[in-house]
Amino acid sequence: MIDNSFPGRFPATRLRRLRGQGWIRDLAAEAELAPRHLIQAVILREDDAPAGPIPAMEGIKRASVNDAVEMAQNAWKNGIKALALFPHTGKEARDPEGTAALDSDNLMCRAARAIKDAVPQIGLIGDVALDPYTDHGHDGLLRDGEIVNDGTVAVLTEQAVVLASAGYDVLAPSDMMDGRIGAIRKKLDHEGFTDRMILSYAVKYASKFYGPYRDAIGSRGVLQGDKRTYQMDPRNSAEGNREVTLDLAEGADMVMVKPGMPYLDMIARTKAAFNVPVAAFQVSGEYAMLRCAAAEGAFDFEDAALEALTCFRRAGTDMIISYYATDAAGWLNQ
């Protein structure tokens, strides 16, 4: 005899009833993806630098300051709340110390001022790291073959102030040096920028999925060695919690997991353990995977791209940096 003494036994419970029609699927849906969850990534270029193509990133162009203003207007119109900016730098403008990072008239600063003039309501997130500016392609200072921690942190605090002065609302250190969040918070407060937020790239892995980005910002062929002495080992998970614990204690307002899709477990783990705003970066290699597969006819780009973003939300992401944020917002608004 079949034991029906507790609910959940077949056939009393048929989960397909809740999937039978669109209206009930919508009513019962758990995660929601809306334009307000998305942050548009923008690769900036000087006016005389090539817009593209960026290998494996079909559909993405480097943006001049004027292009970036247009992107900001378009993003805002579609319900996007913020842009995350990154600068392309040619070899000639790079040096061992990444000096251009501290130039208050550099590309990042000029773009921020122009965007804030045109679209003052939009949030601006500035990448704090030296890799777009160093001639060795590392995020920090290289001394005798090693990336030095504390010397790098001192420069990053200056870079954060330069970016804040140009109008960035959020400083996002992506460098993975120890102690940089506390040092940047202290420096920002000391300089009167108590209102500026810190989005820490806390759970950032040494990942091959950054490949196309290296082309995008001009680091391809420049980077010496790899970043495994400062970025996390892809085998590690508990270490991510230690990173987040430290960064929150040092004053981070929000934390990021990066890359996104291969690391959804870390998004879920971070959200569950800390319950603070969690961002995820759907990085260049993830974009390339979707684009290249779509180009091969594996699926429709729009369908797969929206599914991927939805999965970030299901995993517990509050905000997602993506190269197709504005396009996705447009599709969602239709």
* Catalytic residue numbers, as ranges: 204, 258
How many other CB atoms are there within 10 angstroms of residue 274's CB atom? 16
Is 131 near ligand PBG (CB under 6 A)?
yes
Residue 215 within binding range of ligand PBG, rule CB under 6 A? no
For residues 270 and 284, which CB has a smaller minimum distance to ligand PBG in the complex? Answer: 284
Nearer to ligand PBG, 20 or 55 (CB): 55
Residue from the set 106, 284, 322, 326 that interacts with ligand PBG by CB under 6 A: 284
* Rg, the chain, Cα only: 21
Q: The tokens of 36 are what?
A: 């307000």
Q: Which stretch binds ligand PBG (CB under 6 A): 32-40, 69-77, 123-131, 246-254?
A: 123-131
Site string for ligand PBG, 175-194 (x = CB under 6 A): x-------------------
Alpha-carbon distance 124 to 111, whole Å?
A: 10
Residue 216 C-beta: closest distance to ligand PBG, Å? 7
Nearer to ligand PBG, 93 or 189 (CB): 93
Among 45, 227, 269, 291, binds ligand PBG (CB under 6 A): 227
List 197's β-bridge partners, or say none. Answer: 170
Q: Rule CB under 6 A: is residue 174 a binding residue for ligand PBG?
A: yes
Task: Copy the structure tokens of residue 330.
Answer: 């447009």
Q: Which positions from 3 through 62 interact with ligand PBG, judged by CB under 6 A?
A: none
Query: 76 or 323, CB closer to ligand PBG?
Result: 323
The type of residue at 107 is L
Spatial CA neighbour of 84 closest among 68, 101, 67, 105:
68
In the complex with ligand PBG, which residue's Cβ is closer, 64 or 284? Answer: 284
Count of C-beta atoms within a 10 Å radius of residue 118: 15
The count of chain residues that interact with ligand PBG, using the rule CB under 6 A, is: 11
What minimum distance in Å lies between the beta carbon of 136 and ligand PBG? 12
Q: Is 64 in the site for ligand PBG (CB under 6 A)?
A: no
DSSP state string for 249-317:
HHT-SEEEEES-GGGHHHHHHHHHHH-S-EEEE--HHHHHHHHHHHHTTSS-HHHHHHHHHHHHHHHT-
CB 261 within 8 A of CB 175: no
Do 163 and 132 form a contact (C-beta atoms < 8 A)? no
Q: Which residues bind ligand PBG (CB under 6 A)?
A: 127, 129, 131, 139, 174-175, 210, 213, 227, 283-284
